[in-house]
């Protein structure tokens, strides 16, 4: 087995698992809470409050980018916290939509109580998506770990059955089930975001080798661009971007690229300059730590950068 392939199989998985486990440690969380945003997290997160998003959105719009906002938070396990998260969105949607430029929104259903009370999460999501419809705004349901995929898709279907068409879902290419999920959603003419997948999942649920995930991603993008009503190709992978451009031209697909704030902005600018629509995800919130650790786990160099910054303090 070539050395690069061995790192692909063992190194990357071990690295992701190490980072995602280490960051669950209370002492790591305490250090991060003290220094994190200034030590590096602000590269990926607009700030802790909604108003911190405004200058970031304005800069991105000035560069020709579209944007979406997400309030960070997840794995909420009380009714009270789920209601607080929903209220945050209920004040965010009218505020952000007055800033102009078709900014859209994403929500994580576990932030709205999915693992605590799925009906509560549905009611919360319904209020937010309904409110967004009144402001002509779109709300996507992010996809989280594999245990909540069925529940997330059920809520998506219920929202659509209630006539809320200003909503979409996310499909994760690393999951063995995602092609089937896409096919089963097609009668709804869905708006889907296609991603590789950011969670630690076992082999019976998800592909483990990066090269397999990359290939599955390109295939899922190809299928979505061919059959879905609208596809958000969410990636920073140049090869996947090339595939998407070729397929979208061939199929005359309705689509946009999406990238994360703080990642490959050079590529985002190149794509916009070439006339491709690009939407940047702008996250904010006091609960930025888990989001930040996922960005660290995606790329070893990010963790070294953080460690260097923390050691300087």
Residue 32: exposed, middle, or buried by beta-carbon count in 10 A (0-12, 13-18, 19+)?
A: buried
Apex 17 CA angle, 143 and 193, nearest 5:
20
Site string for ligand FDA, 198-217 (x = CB under 6 A): xx------------------
Distance CA 269, CA 278 (A): 9
Indicate whether 8 belongs to the interface with ligand FDA (CB under 6 A).
Answer: no
Site string for ligand FDA, 224-243 (x = CB under 6 A): ----------xxxx------
Residue among 32, 7, 109 at smallest CA distance from 303: 32
Indicate whether 264 belongs to the interface with ligand FDA (CB under 6 A).
Answer: yes
Please confirm, yes or no, whether 142 is among the known catalytic residues. yes
Residue 237 in 3-state DSSP? coil
Q: Which residues of 262-288 are buried (b: 16+ CB within 10 A; e: fewer)?
A: bbbbebbeebbeeebebbbbbbbbebb
Among 16, 66, 111, 196, binds ligand FDA (CB under 6 A): 196
Contact segment (CB under 6 A) with ligand FDA among 58-66, 77-85, 151-159, 298-306 equals 298-306
- Nearer residue to ligand FDA within complex by CB, 92 or 141: 141
- Nearer residue to ligand FDA within complex by CB, 85 or 263: 263
Apex 105 CA angle, 82 and 54, nearest 5:
105
Name residue 195's beta-bridge partners. Answer: 172
Please confirm, yes or no, whether 150 is among the known catalytic residues. no
Indicate whether 172 belongs to the interface with ligand FDA (CB under 6 A).
Answer: yes
Distance CA 217, CA 235 (A): 9
Catalytic annotation, pick one of 8, 142, 214, 237? 142
Indicate whether 299 belongs to the interface with ligand FDA (CB under 6 A).
Answer: yes
Residues with active-site annotation: 142, 193
Binding site for ligand FDA (CB under 6 A): 142-143, 170, 172, 195-199, 234-237, 258-260, 263-264, 281, 295, 298-299, 302
């Amino acid at each position: 087995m070539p050395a690069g392939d061995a790192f692909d199989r063992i190194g990357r998985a071990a690295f992701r698992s190490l980072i995602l486990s280490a960051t669950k440690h209370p002492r790591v969380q305490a250090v991060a809470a003290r220094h994190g945003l200034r030590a590096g997290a602000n590269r990926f997160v607009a700030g802790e409050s909604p108003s911190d998003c405004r200058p970031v959105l304005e800069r991105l719009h000035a560069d020709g980018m579209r944007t979406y906002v997400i309030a960070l938070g997840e794995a909420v396990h009380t009714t009270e916290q789920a209601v607080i998260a929903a209220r945050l969105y209920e004040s965010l949607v009218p505020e952000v939509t007055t800033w102009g430029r078709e900014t859209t929104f994403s929500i994580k259903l576990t932030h709205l109580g999915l693992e605590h009370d799925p009906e509560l999460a549905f009611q919360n999501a319904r209020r937010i998506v309904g409110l967004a419809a009144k402001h002509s705004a779109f709300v996507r349901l992010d996809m989280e770990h594999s245990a909540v995929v069925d529940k997330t898709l059920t809520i998506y279907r219920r929202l659509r059955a209630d006539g809320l068409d200003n909503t979409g879902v996310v499909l994760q290419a690393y999951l063995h089930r995602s092609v089937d999920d896409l096919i089963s959603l097609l009668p709804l003419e869905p708006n889907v975001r296609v991603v590789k997948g950011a969670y630690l999942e076992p082999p019976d649920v998800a592909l483990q080798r990066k090269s397999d995930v990359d290939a599955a991603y390109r295939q899922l993008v190809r299928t979505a661009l061919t059959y879905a009503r609208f596809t958000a190709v969410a990636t920073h992978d140049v090869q996947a971007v090339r595939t998407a451009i070729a397929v979208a031209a061939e199929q005359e697909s309705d689509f946009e690229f999406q990238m994360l704030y703080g990642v490959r902005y050079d590529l985002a600018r190149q794509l916009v300059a070439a006339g491709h629509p690009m939407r940047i995800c702008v996250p904010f919130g006091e609960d930025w730590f888990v989001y930040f650790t996922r960005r660290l786990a995606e790329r070893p160099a990010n963790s070294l950068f953080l460690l260097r910054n923390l050691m300087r303090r």
